[in-house]
């Protein structure tokens, strides 16, 4: 047996290996691992997701929150009080009483309420203080300047650092380094540019995001026979699959394209990936739906709710009707059962109705700031932070390693990735106003792995524009307004302890917990 350049067996070799398995061979595993080991090089290890010596051998987990539309950092943790500015009437700063101090912290918390959201008659009240007090020691805010105010382009650049490492996304790097052995290491439930893959074609196909559009129903499709009334027994289906695979390989089409990369991926997914997912019983483990006949008759179709279902439904009671709750519920289960190392979730631009004010997600999410800046920002930040709070609660209660006492949360990074910031000017003394897109902003990271209670950079109170910092030392640099997308990209990975050797990324030691 030999390996192709991508570190995988050829199609014929896979068939030969499967025939050994079918014959009851007990030598298959060492045979496969032996031939791989003989060809191990640093490059081939990387392509197969092998970890480098710098890593501890345990998985880590990344949650990317896609704050679509432009989540403004000066409408949250870096808000400016009117009394601090000599230009308060003309910039996006708040009445002093609306910007709450956080004890022993550089962060601030905005309190805002309104009887409507722009033209939408939906009253609401938002207060960020409880969240910041609860998580300030695990929060880091890094100011930023981007390079695009186009939604799709800016969204993707928030994930690649503007192509900082061969065009790889953060999710792909995490899947490569921490998701080895997981069946679906990179699940993406984001929107628009947040769902785009990177441009490094040398990565294994498994590193690229698996798009999930309906998180509550998707798990029910993770088995080819279960949940279908009158389906043949499993052994009959396996016989049919084996026959199909043999006939496909001998067909004109199979013979013609046997060496095509697409065919190799298809065969690997169908012959190895699918059986593995079915064996793991993910159709049960990831299923948040309860058994509620006649509307949801799971048992009638031989299905069950996840053993964690009640716990997850308690944290996210609207999981079925609110997309972001359904996404976060699935994210927890994907991490718990080691299915994925990276999950992307977040609101999209569609309206979601329900809840006390009848509105859960305004049109355009954060981009509704074009109509009502302060209202949209306060409403959407509350939506994001409540989702994060419930997810952290689940992760904290889930053991990761009983010998070390680690929980899943101890191994998780949450990165709130936003398209861009919003313009800072407003009509004099106006409280309800619209804003456009702006390159100037900041990013939020939450994790036990970051240097907590930290602001990298700062805000000029006379313009409400953020300024930069030294990514290695963390020293603020007033007046620095140059793009720092690679610093943010490197900072997320540095804090997670990823191996960045050979990446050419800037030293972002200021992000990492000492």
Per residue in 305-355, pLDDT tens?
Answer: 999 999 999 999 999 999 999 999 999 999 999 999 999 999 999 999 987
* DSSP per-residue letters across 244-261: HHHHHHHSHHHHHTTT-H
Residues 6+ apart with CB under 8 A from 61: 174, 178, 335, 340, 341, 342, 343, 408, 411, 412, 413
Helix (H, G, I), strand (E, B) or coil at 502: coil
Neighbour-count burial for 438-450, b at 16+ CB within 10 Å, e otherwise: bbbbbbbbbbbbb
pLDDT tens digits, one per residue of 231-245: 999 999 999 999 999
Ordered alpha helix ranges (H), 38-111: 42-47
User: Can you read off the two tokens belonging to residue 370?
Assistant: 């074009």
Q: In Å, what is the CA distance from 442 to each residue of 217, 250, 341, 361, 458?
A: 35, 56, 25, 22, 10
d(C-alpha 141, C-alpha 177), whole Å: 25
Residues 6+ apart with CB under 8 A from 153: 193
Please write down the long-range contacts of 32-38, taking CB distance under 8 Å and 24 or more positions apart: 32/1, 35/1, 35/2, 35/3, 36/3, 36/7
pLDDT tens digits, one per residue of 122-136: 999 999 999 999 999
d(C-alpha 177, C-alpha 434), whole Å: 42
Residues of the chain with CATH 3.40.720: 61-216+319-511
Q: What percentage of the chain has pLDDT greater than the value 90? A: 86
Segment (H or E) for 412: strand 412-418
Q: Taking all residues of the chain, what is their mean pLDDT, rounded to a whole number? A: 91
Cβ atoms of 180 and 49 closer than 8 Å: yes
pLDDT tens digits, one per residue of 416-441: 999 999 999 999 999 999 999 999 99
Q: State residue 53's pLDDT score.
A: 37
pTM given for the model: 0.89
Structural class in CATH, domain 61-216+319-511? alpha beta
The model's confidence at residue 222, banded by pLDDT at 50, 70 and 90, is: very high
């Amino acid at each position: 047996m030999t390996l192709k350049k991508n570190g995988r067996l050829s199609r014929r070799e896979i068939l030969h290996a499967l025939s050994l398995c079918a014959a009851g061979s007990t030598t298959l595993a060492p045979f496969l691992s032996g031939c791989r080991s003989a060809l191990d090089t640093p490059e081939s290890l990387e392509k197969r997701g092998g970890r480098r010596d710098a890593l501890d051998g345990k998985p880590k987990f990344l949650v990317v929150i896609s704050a679509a539309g432009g989540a403004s950092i000066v409408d949250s943790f870096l808000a400016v009080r009117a009394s601090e500015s000599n230009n308060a009437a003309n910039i996006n700063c708040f009445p002093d009483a609306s910007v709450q101090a956080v004890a022993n912290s550089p962060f601030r918390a905005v309190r805002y309420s309104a009887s409507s959201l722009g033209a939408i008659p939906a009253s609401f009240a938002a207060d960020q203080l409880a969240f910041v007090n609860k998580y300030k020691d695990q929060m880091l805010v890094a100011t930023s300047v981007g390079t695009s105010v186009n939604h799709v382009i800016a969204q993707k650049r928030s994930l690649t650092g503007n192509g900082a490492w061969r065009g790889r996304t953060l999710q792909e790097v995490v899947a490569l380094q921490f998701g080895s052995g997981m069946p679906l290491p990179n699940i993406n439930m984001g929107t628009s540019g947040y769902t785009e893959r990177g441009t490094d074609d040398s990565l294994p196909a498994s590193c690229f995001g698996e798009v999930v559009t309906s998180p509550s129903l998707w798990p029910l499709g993770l088995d080819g026979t279960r949940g279908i009334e009158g389906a043949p027994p499993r052994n009959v289906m396996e016989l049919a699959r084996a026959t199909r695979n043999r006939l496909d390989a001998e067909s004109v089409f199979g013979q013609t394209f046997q060496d095509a990369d697409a065919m190799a991926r298809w065969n690997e997914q169908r012959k190895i990936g699918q059986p593995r997912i079915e064996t793991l019983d993910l159709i049960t483990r990831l299923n948040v739906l309860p058994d509620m006949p006649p509307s949801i008759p799971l048992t009638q179709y031989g299905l069950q709710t996840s053993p964690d279902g009640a716990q997850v439904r308690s944290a996210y009671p609207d999981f079925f009707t609110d997309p972001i709750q359904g996404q976060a519920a699935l994210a927890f289960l994907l991490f718990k059962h080691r299915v994925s190392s990276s999950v992307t979730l977040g609101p999209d631009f569609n309206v979601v109705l329900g809840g006390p004010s009848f509105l859960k997600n305004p049109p355009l999410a954060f981009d509704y700031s074009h109509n009502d800046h302060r209202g949209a920002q306060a409403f959407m930040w509350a939506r994001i932070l409540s989702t994060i709070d419930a997810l952290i609660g689940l992760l904290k209660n889930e053991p990761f390693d009983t010998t070390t006492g680690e929980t899943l949360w101890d191994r998780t990074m949450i990165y709130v990735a936003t398209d861009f910031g919003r313009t800072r000017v407003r009509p004099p003394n106006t409280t309800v106003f619209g804003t456009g897109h702006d390159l100037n902003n900041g990013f939020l990271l939450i994790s036990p792995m970051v240097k907590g209670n930290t602001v990298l950079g700062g805000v000029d109170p006379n313009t409400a524009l953020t300024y930069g910092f030294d990514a290695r030392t963390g020293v603020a640099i007033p007046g620095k307004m140059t793009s720092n997308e690679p610093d943010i990209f490197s900072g997320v990975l540095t804090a997670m302890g990823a191996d960045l050797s050979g990446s050419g990324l800037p030293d972002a030691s200021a992000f990492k917990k000492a």
